[in-house]
Chain A
Amino acid sequence: MRPGRQRRRLRRRLGALLIHAVLAGGAVFMLLPMLWMLATSFKPPPEIAVWPPHLLPQAPTLANYRGLFQAVPFPRFFGNSVFISVISTACVVITSMIAGAVFAKYRFPGRSFLFMLVLATAIVPFEAYMIPLYIQLVRLHWINTYQAIILPWLVMSFGIFLLRQHVASAIPDELMEAARVDGASEWWTFRRVLVPLSGNAMAAVGIFAFIQAWGVFLWLLLVANNEHLFNLEVGLTAFQFRFSTDYGKLMAGSTLSTLPMLIVFLLLRRRIIENMALTGLKG
């Protein structure tokens, strides 16, 4: 009896060890691209083209970062990314809150139709209707302007859906009724009752909007061919096409482009993961 139990315990320990080994191996695979990128960005050119490669730089240098700033208007790209993302996030949160609240708490003719229309447009991928949108902006002479870049990212059907769900289920009608009895206007009720009670849901929508706007790529490629309008994603791509083999500088640029999002993620880690898990939307 004893040896059997011991063997079983041993087997369980071995099993746990194996699981940890697999998890750790997977973690290395997930982190490897970022670590490899970071390490390469500090390597002087001779160390980059060396076989076998060293994981860590032997003579770390900032030359790649300095070279990057000389080669491309990197701060400009960064500023554009921030600008586009902030404007888009603000607009998405505001439009989603307004539409979400109206769809959740009011009855009016055409309500379901309009709500379904808003949701239905979310099913069609953006790539499928970017052509007419582009033609339209050519006619307006909006090509190479910020408004053209930001335009498609001012609204988000998913944001409206999420805030409608939140307002409908989490804010009792009695609160609004009480405000009305006190003579409050509808706008006052919206501003002072619905908005303050929707902070978390608005933050969730804001995070999605920010991630989405930060990653704008194809659309910007279409409507902007002026370097001054590029965000980090497109700027880095253009830089890559020009210096396709200068991996030191490329990795420096990639590291700097990844860093802001990484910091935001590590700060809001739990919230972002929970939001994504609960709502099931990919960023």
Chain B
Amino acid sequence: MSVSTLDRPLPRPLPQGEGRRKIRRHLRLWLWCYAMLLPVLAIYAFVRIWPIARTVMLSFYNWRLIARVRPFVGLANYERMFSDANFQIAIWNTTVYSLSIVLISTIIALPLAVVLARRGRMSAVYQTIYFLPVITPLVPMCIAWKWIYDYNYGILNYILSLVGIPPIAWLTDAHMALWALVIMGVWKVLGFNLVIFLVGIRNIPASYLEAASLDGANELQKFWRVTLPLLRPILLYVLVTATINAYNVFTQVYVMTLGSQDAPGQAVRVLVYDIYQNAFQYFRMGYASAEAVALTFIVLGLTLIQFRAFREREAG
């Protein structure tokens, strides 16, 4: 990163008049900077900073949109969270969902990236195909997956029937619904992880792998002993980013399961849905804000891990 011109020490000594002119020039520059930033910061204040601060404030109140009186209740909302079965189910489901997606997609993407990193003729084609789900809009794909999961005429149950597996009620069976969402989640994020790993692997100096070959290492040993350790920071980065994204899941759950009447509501209750329901269906804005603060802390914790990963990457 280059250092700004204004960082350099002013040439000294300065004649009286010139010094004053310099100071005036600085002041004018500062003013210019603030003027340029003002509209941007004003938007930030209104749509980010104020709402974030206000969320924390609301979480200490019994704040209902439709009620006149909105008393301060201290930590009561947080206390209630710990005895709220819905909230606990939501936390559990979201965690299972996130960790499953992240682990499965990483375990699949890593070997694929190793293979595709060899720059075969087909590598670019495969990359494009695997990346397609990342880029396609979510709702149409949710509806397409819902159709795939259809109990009677879905293609997935048809494929399973070919190998003699009886039909599964993917989206309505309480034991399967979350896993149906996980499968789709893996499908959606796989290409993204793959491409990041691919870049990481291609950045590994060829000489390292050649040296390992000369020492008689086979492909598997090279992967475990050279590629994987050098990929560690990127691996950690992908794991954390994917977990954060998965924790904010909402659209899939809303479109694929909650619309239908026989949906197993509790089996797919996720954190953002719980917040949405409390705030916008029951109008318990205060309690929902406490849940939102909990979500923020989870994401914050994950982000701290990520920062450590970055530092490692820069150091290594």
Contacts and interface: CB of A to CB of B under 8 A. Distances in A.
A155 B39 CA distance: 10
Interface string B50-81: 11101100100000010000000000000000
Interface stretch (B14-22, B30-38, B224-232): B30-38
**Chain B, interface SS category:** helix
Most buried by A among B115, B143, B285: B143
Interface in A211-225: 211, 214-215, 217-218, 221-222
Given A123-B303, A233-B137, A19 B36 contact: no
B37 A29 contact: no
A69 interface: no
A188 to B, nearest CB: 12
Interface stretch (B40-48, B85-93, B172-180, B208-216): B40-48
A154 to B, nearest CB: 5
A80 to B, nearest CB: 14
Nearest to B127: A273
Interface in B273-295: 275-276, 279-280, 285, 288-289, 292-293, 295
Interface in B131-156: 131-141, 143-148, 150, 152-153, 155
B299 A132 contact: no
A109 interface: yes
B136 A258 contact: yes
Contacts of B5: 105, 173, 176-177
A53 B37 contact: no
B49 A131 contact: no
A53 B158 contact: yes
Contacts of A165: 1
Interface residues of B, number: 100
B287 to A, nearest CB: 10
A116 interface: no
Pick from A131, A251, A276 the residue with the most CB of B within 10 Å. Answer: A131
Contacts, number: 284
Nearest to B128: A269
B242 to A, nearest CB: 8
Interface in A74-127: 95, 98-99, 101-102, 104-109, 111, 114, 117-118, 121, 123-127
Q: Which of A36, A165, A168, A273 has the most CB of B within 10 A?
A: A273
Given A131-B292, A273-B195, A30 B55 contact: no
Interface string B250-263: 11001100011000
B129 interface: yes
Interface of B: 1-7, 29-30, 32-34, 36-37, 39-41, 43-44, 46-52, 54-55, 58, 65, 108, 112, 115-116, 122, 126-141, 143-148, 150, 152-153, 155, 158, 161, 187, 189-192, 195-196, 198-199, 237, 241-242, 244-245, 247-248, 250-251, 254-255, 259-260, 272, 275-276, 279-280, 285, 288-289, 292-293, 295-296, 299-300, 303
9 tightest Cβ-Cβ pairs between the two chains A and B: A254-B140, A132-B54, A37-B144, A129-B51, A128-B292, A121-B48, A233-B139, A132-B51, A133-B51
Interface of A: 19-20, 23, 26-27, 29-34, 36-37, 40, 48-53, 55, 95, 98-99, 101-102, 104-109, 111, 114, 117-118, 121, 123-136, 138, 151-152, 154-155, 160, 165, 168-169, 172-173, 176-177, 186-187, 190, 211, 214-215, 217-218, 221-222, 232-234, 236-237, 240-241, 244, 247, 250-251, 253-255, 257-258, 261-262, 265-266, 269, 272-273, 276-278, 280, 282-283
5 contacts: A30-B133, A30-B190, A125-B295, A135-B285, A244-B260
